[in-house]
C-alpha cells in the first residue's frame, strides 16, 4: 500500500502525471483516494475469481450427475431389452416344443393342447394370455391333524397342523356335537396362516369338559373340518391363605386353657405358646390338630398356675397356604 502511494507521489513530482496546481494536503488526499479505489478493485477481482471457481464447480457437479443419470437410463434400457429378448426366446422355445409335440396328433382347431397353449392351424400353437390361464384350479380340501391340548385350570393352549397353508380357527362348546356358528360356540382364531397353528383359550371354568372342532380354509376357498375332540380343564390352584377370626381363650384354669378361633376355609390347627415375648416359634411349645376344619379348638395342658402365656395360632389349608395370628397373651389362674 505504501509503495503505491510513494509511486503516485513520485509521478506527480517528476511531471510524469499532470495534475492541477493543488496544495500538499489536497494532493495527499487525492492519492489516498486512488490507493483506496485500487484496493477495492483488487478485492472485487478476488471475489470474482472465487465466484467463477464456485460456478465451475457447480457446472462440473451438474455434468457429473447428468452423465450418471444418462448411464443409469442406458443400463435400464439395456436390461429391459435383455428381458424382452429372454422372454421372446423362452416363448419361442416353448412354442417350438409345443409344435413338435402337436405334430401329427390330429387335434382339432382351437383345442387346448397344453396348459396355456392353444392349437391353431397346422401344427402351430399360440400362447394364451395370463388371464386365460388353463392351470387347473385347486379343489383339494386341506387336511387337519394332530389337535393337541395343554389345559390349565382356566385356560388351554390348542395346537394343530394342516396339510397346506390355511387360515384356521378352533370352535369350543360345552355340548356335543359342536355346531359352528351356533349360540354358545366360541371361535378362537389361529395365530398363523401357515401349516402349524396355535390358539390360546382363556376364561374357562375349572374341572369342565369342553368339545373342540377345528376349521381350516386354503387360499382357493377349500374348507376342511376336523373330527371332534374334547378336553377337561384342571382344578383351580388355591393360592390364598385361610383368614382367621374370633380368636380367643376359654376355660382358663390353673394348668389348662382352650384356644379358639375360626377360619373362612377348612384348615389345620396349631397353637404356639411360651412364657417369653416376643414368642420365638422354633423354641415355643406347640399343640397341633391336623384335621381340616373351620371351627378350631385347641386345649393346652400342663401349664403353670398364675403364669402369663404368650400365644400365636396358625392354620394351613389343603393347598398348603399358611396364615398366622399376631401374638396375644393370657394368664392362668392360681
pLDDT in tens, 206-243: 899 999 999 999 998 899 999 999 999 988 888 899 99
pLDDT given at position 121: 56
Query: How far, in Å, CA of 208 to CA of 255, rounded?
Result: 53
pLDDT given at position 74: 82
pLDDT given at position 51: 85
pLDDT given at position 42: 78
Quick check: 83 and 68 in contact, CB under 8 A? no
pLDDT given at position 103: 56
Centre a 10 Å sphere on the Cβ of residue 30 and count the other Cβ atoms it contains: 15
Helix axes 2-14, 24-102, angle to 10 degrees: 130
* List of residues 6+ apart from 247 with CB closer than 8 A: 259, 260, 261, 313, 325, 328
pLDDT given at position 25: 63
Q: Can you list the residues of the chain whose pLDDT is less than 50?
A: 1-2, 4-6, 8-19, 104-113, 133-134
With CA atoms as reference, report the closest residue to 243 among 257, 222, 258, 261. 261
Centre a 10 Å sphere on the Cβ of residue 50 and count the other Cβ atoms it contains: 10
* List of residues 6+ apart from 131 with CB closer than 8 A: none
pLDDT given at position 168: 96
pLDDT given at position 97: 62
pLDDT given at position 15: 45
- Coil, strand, or helix at residue 315? strand
Query: How far, in Å, CA of 222 to CA of 207, rounded?
Result: 36
pLDDT given at position 36: 76
Query: How far, in Å, CA of 156 to CA of 168, rounded?
Result: 17
CA dihedral 66, 68, 69, 72 (to 10 degrees): 160
Amino acid at each position: 500500500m505504501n509503495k503505491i502511494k510513494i509511486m503516485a507521489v513520485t509521478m506527480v513530482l517528476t511531471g510524469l502525471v499532470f495534475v492541477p496546481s493543488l496544495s500538499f494536503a489536497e494532493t495527499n488526499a487525492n492519492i489516498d483516494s486512488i490507493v483506496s479505489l485500487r484496493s477495492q478493485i483488487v478485492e472485487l477481482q478476488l471475489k470474482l475469481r472465487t465466484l467463477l471457481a464456485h460456478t465451475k464447480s457447480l457446472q462440473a457437479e451438474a455434468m457429473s450427475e447428468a452423465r450418471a443419470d444418462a448411464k443409469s437410463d442406458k443400463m435400464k434400457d439395456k436390461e429391459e431389452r435383455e428381458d424382452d429378448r429372454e422372454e421372446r426366446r423362452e416363448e419361442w422355445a416353448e412354442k417350438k416344443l409345443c409344435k413338435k409335440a402337436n405334430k401329427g396328433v390330429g387335434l382339432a382347431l382351437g383345442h387346448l393342447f397344453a396348459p396355456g397353449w392353444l392349437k391353431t392351424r397346422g401344427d402351430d400353437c399360440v400362447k394364451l394370455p395370463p388371464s386365460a390361464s388353463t392351470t387347473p384350479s385347486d379343489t383339494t380340501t386341506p387336511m387337519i391333524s394332530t389337535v393337541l391340548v395343554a389345559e390349565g385350570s382356566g385356560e388351554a393352549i390348542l395346537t394343530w397342523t394342516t396339510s397346506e397353508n390355511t387360515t384356521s380357527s378352533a370352535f369350543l362348546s360345552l355340548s356335543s356335537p359342536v355346531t359352528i356358528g351356533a349360540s354358545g360356540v366360541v371361535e378362537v382364531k389361529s395365530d398363523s396362516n401357515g401349516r402349524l397353528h396355535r390358539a390360546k383359550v382363556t376364561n374357562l371354568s375349572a374341572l369342565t369338559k369342553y368339545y373342540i372342532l377345528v376349521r381350516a380354509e386354503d387360499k382357493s376357498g377349500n374348507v376342511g373340518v376336523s373330527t371332534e375332540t374334547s378336553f377337561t380343564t384342571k382344578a383351580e390352584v388355591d393360592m390364598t391363605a385361610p383368614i382367621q377370626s374370633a380368636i380367643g381363650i376359654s376355660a382358663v384354669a390353673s394348668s389348662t386353657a382352650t384356644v379358639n378361633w375360626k377360619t373362612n376355609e377348612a384348615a389345620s390347627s396349631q397353637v404356639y405358646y411360651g412364657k417369653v415375648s416376643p414368642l420365638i416359634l422354633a423354641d415355643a411349645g406347640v399343640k397341633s390338630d391336623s384335621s381340616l376344619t373351620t371351627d378350631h379348638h385347641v386345649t393346652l395342658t400342663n401349664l403353670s398356675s398364675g403364669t402369663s402365656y404368650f400365644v400365636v395360632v396358625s392354620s394351613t389349608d389343603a393347598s398348603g397356604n399358611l396364615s398366622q395370628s399376631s401374638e396375644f397373651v393370657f394368664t392362668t389362674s392360681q
